[in-house]
A and B are shown apart, each in its own frame.
Chain A
């Protein structure tokens, strides 16, 4: 018995690497560093901020301030408040509360997707990864699944917080909405889809821009500044070409698309794009960036 003998290997069945093992290895890579729980902390912070903001907004929607208004304004405001109390609007409010934290939460999902790839290059572990599994498509597919799992985990953290706070809030506002209403559940599930899609989007971005800081900055800029840029362009086109659908075209900004997909009413423009448009745009981005990820990983030399 010497150090070169291996009881572990001698006793083991030779199973080789299977897609399931590859996914578990990728999840283990994230799990064995600090990033994921720091990010969950970030998701929770932003979820609580969003809950406060959304709560305040809906509070004034349901209980308008009537002081210092003349009679006709007062009537109009009361009518709006009454409108907010209809079942449909209450569902929308509940859905909004239950998806609080999405705007910045998906940003964390995107960044974890970016890190799943760029960590391999930043820490030069890509060599070991691809030596263990030269079939690169399988590796990148496993990464997609792992990134999606962590996107879902972030969604779970955010939703757990929402599911605790929302009923308390709605109770204190003295409105009764069943959180099991399909409209609410659908928003929550679409929110999950958004987290997963952004994680995959981030992973594709990471393969495109392999520098860690480069791709994180690019991703955040696309997400946060992309809205403003697209809004300006859309508005300019709208001035020239005065059609309603032009305004709706702001949905091509990925951040808008994911908002529209989950809670279509939240975009504050004249001609809000339909929910399906948000879904289609997000799907298109996810597939495009996923494909970029696979193709680039297959073709490029590992350095």
Chain B
């Protein structure tokens, strides 16, 4: 008799697990309904900025190191992220971006070094969700729970009024989908639920890992407007991303890491110019040979398929002077400002990406 009961129970439990798994799969396969319309992000009148103290929002990473068995994921990394600006956090796959963000958010313990927000470690913040909003995984909600309940649970545990869940749903345009189960959400909707969760405490600091993943062009523009608006209010916005063209439009500052180490940090212009100094200059002239002869030995002249002439090794001023000295007519002289993608690839070239 007990053996029989045991078999029934084991059989029942197995069937339950199998059915559960199947339910999840079929539901995710059917996910893909159109995202609901996005609300406009309208800038406030600086209500926030008056009350926000700049030092509160400074993220400071100092000597941060994370070692796993035999692998150094983050290696003596130091940078600061300033309030009132959008900071792009870039690096190849496996560079240690997510690990760094996890350490800033107190989810992983650093092997060495510190990460502080407004001078305080995440674990010591009194009301963390009121100070910092984080988005790490987009698909991070229970499949069988509604998006609204997911947010209400966060409110409940952080001591935030439950109505705030409806406000952030409105903010990310998910109000119509709020009462549907998470397993029916498209990737873009999941991403927006994650942003809603990050915004739940109206935080001074936002830390978002790949927030644009899975968003359609409309969604990406909305996200860009939102993040810029938040930064204009005086908030700190740290965003990691692979979408370099998007970053070039969105970010004010950049932090680029590779193989766990800092490659470069600074404003977008500084980072772009760090390569531009050694970049190419586009020249249009009817007399290429004479110009080549006029330039000294440091310069290299290349002509591409479409007949454009590029000079590297000397800057535009030197080319102009050389042309004037030798009487060469120039039709065009333009410094080629490399785009972020080019700079990024140049800067991270040769750094072991996946370890």
Asked if A pairs with B, the answer is: yes
- Residues of chain A whose beta carbon lies under 8 Å from any beta carbon of chain B: 2-9, 11-12, 14-18, 21-22, 24-26, 28-29, 32-35, 38, 42, 46, 49, 53, 104, 107, 119, 123-125, 127-135, 213, 216, 220, 224, 301-302
A9 touches B109 (CB 8 A): no
**Extra A-B contacts (14), CB below 8 Å, given A2-B44, A3-B41:** A6-B167, A32-B145, A32-B146, A32-B149, A33-B145, A35-B144, A49-B5, A123-B143, A124-B140, A127-B107, A127-B136, A132-B128, A134-B122, A224-B6
A16 with B142, Cβ < 8 A, contacts A6-B202, A9-B160, A53-B1 known: no
Q: For the complex, is B113 an interface residue (Cβ under 8 Å from A)?
A: no
* Residue ranges of B at the interface with A (Cβ–Cβ < 8 Å): 1, 5-6, 9-10, 12-13, 16-17, 39, 41-44, 47-48, 102, 105-109, 122-123, 125-130, 132, 134, 136-137, 139-146, 149-150, 152-154, 156-161, 163-164, 166-167, 170-171, 197, 201-202, 229-230, 233
Partner of A17, one of B16, B47, B145, B157: B157
Q: How many A-B residue pairs have CB under 8 A?
A: 149
Shortest Cβ distance from A123 into B: residue:
B142
Other-chain contact of B157, A7, A25, A49, A104 (Cβ < 8 Å): A25
User: Which residues of the partner chain A approach B142 to less than 8 Å between Cβ atoms?
Assistant: 29, 32-33, 119, 123, 125
- B197 near A8 with CB under 8 A, answer no
Residues B164 and A9 in contact, CB atoms below 8 Å apart: yes
| A-side contacts of B134, CB under 8 Å | 127, 131
Greatest chain A CB density within 10 A among B107, B123, B141, B164 is at B107
A124 and B5 contact, Cβ closer than 8 Å, known pairs A9-B164, A16-B159 = no
Decide if A301 touches B107 in the complex (CB within 8 Å): yes
In the bound complex, residues from chain B placing their C-beta under 8 Å from that of A25 are 153-154, 156-157
Chain B residues whose CB sits within 8 angstroms of the CB of A123 once the complex forms: 140-143
Return B130 CB to nearest CB of chain A, in Å: 7
Given contacts A6-B164, A12-B160, A33-B145, contact A127 B140 (CB under 8 A): yes
Bound complex: CA of A175 vs CA of B263, how far in Å? 85
- Quote the shortest CB–CB distance from A178 to chain B (angstroms): 30
Question: How far apart are the CA atoms of A3 and B170 in the complex, in Å?
Answer: 8
A134 CB contact (under 8 Å) in B42, B106, B201: B106
A287 to B12, CA, bound (A): 30
Q: Can you list 29 A-B pairs with a CB-CB distance of less than 8 A?
A: A3-B41, A3-B170, A6-B202, A8-B160, A8-B164, A8-B166, A9-B160, A9-B201, A9-B202, A12-B161, A14-B127, A17-B157, A18-B159, A21-B157, A24-B156, A25-B156, A32-B142, A32-B145, A49-B5, A107-B9, A124-B137, A125-B142, A127-B137, A128-B154, A131-B128, A133-B157, A216-B13, A220-B10, A301-B108
